[in-house]
Amino acid sequence: MNTAASTRLRKRLKPFLRALLRRSLLFLCRLRSRVYVPDSAPLLVIAPHQDDCTLGCGGLILQKRLAGQPVEILYLTDGAASHPGHPLLPPAEISERRKAEARLANQRLGVDSDALRFLELPDSRLDSLQPAERAAAVSRLASALRERPPAVLLLPLRHDGSSEHHAGFALVRDALGQAALRPRVLEYAVWSLWSPQLLLPAIRRARIHRFDFPGYSDRKSRALAAYVSQLEPTPPWNNPVLPVGFRSIFETEREFFFEYQP
């Protein structure tokens, strides 16, 4: 087999092998997990970017709201860096679009706009904040947490395959310490589902929870569809920001959550 043919074969096999690994790891998660039954306690979801929480825990958010239970969502960044170098969309406009998309997505999940908070930290810089910037961000986040202390807090996995998610996790951890709060913390997966080998550390956790919402995947899909700036091309660019096939990974009737263990 010549080099060109070998390259083409690898390109064709890669998505298949990724999907096979994803199914295998999710099957293992299912075997090791226990059913998660949400109680009526207030839920706070923290998302580094505007689409993260709908992707990773949109089903849980929907079911909590259908049951009339309180859900608040706090977005860490302004989302302005999702289209670097775009010739027609300046960062400020991208940020406003993403906030509007988040409001629409959450409306479709039953979350009112007044339950959304935007911390507006600089997108793509959570992992490179200067010490004074980071201290100020932790202080602001601690104040937001003290204002309405959560009983249960959801945020992306520590090792989710995104430097922003890892840095966001560290910010939340430090803010909880500063605020002297100890809510129950569950982690949800986003990019670690796209690159499924990143789930390997997560499945070693002592406690994995699975949340099933049969019959409601279409409601989650409709909420995801609100993120037009991420899922559809923004002319003159011909490709969307998120990879083709990314969205479909999350259009299921099951979500997994990993109990935080300090």
Indicate whether 13 belongs to any domain.
no
Give the structural domain span for 225: 39-259
Q: Whose CA is closest to 226, among 57, 108, 78?
A: 108
Indicate whether 29 belongs to any domain.
no
Indicate whether 245 belongs to any domain.
yes
Domain count, the chain: 1
CATH number at residue 121: 3.40.50.10320
Q: Whose CA is closest to 92, among 108, 75, 84, 80?
A: 80
Indicate whether 18 belongs to any domain.
no
Indicate whether 12 belongs to any domain.
no
Residue 38 contacts residue 78 (beta carbons within 8 Å): no
Residue 204 has pLDDT above 90, yes or no: no
Indicate whether 22 belongs to any domain.
no
Indicate whether 14 belongs to any domain.
no
pLDDT tens digit sequence for 51-84: 999 999 999 999 999 999 999 999 999 999 999 9
**Pairing mode of beta strands 71-77, 152-156:** unpaired
pLDDT tens digit sequence for 14-29: 778 888 999 999 999 9
pTM of the model: 0.93
Indicate whether 15 belongs to any domain.
no
Residue 13 CA from chain centroid, whole number: 27
Please provide the average confidence, as pLDDT, over all residues in the chain.
93
The pLDDT of residue 203: 86
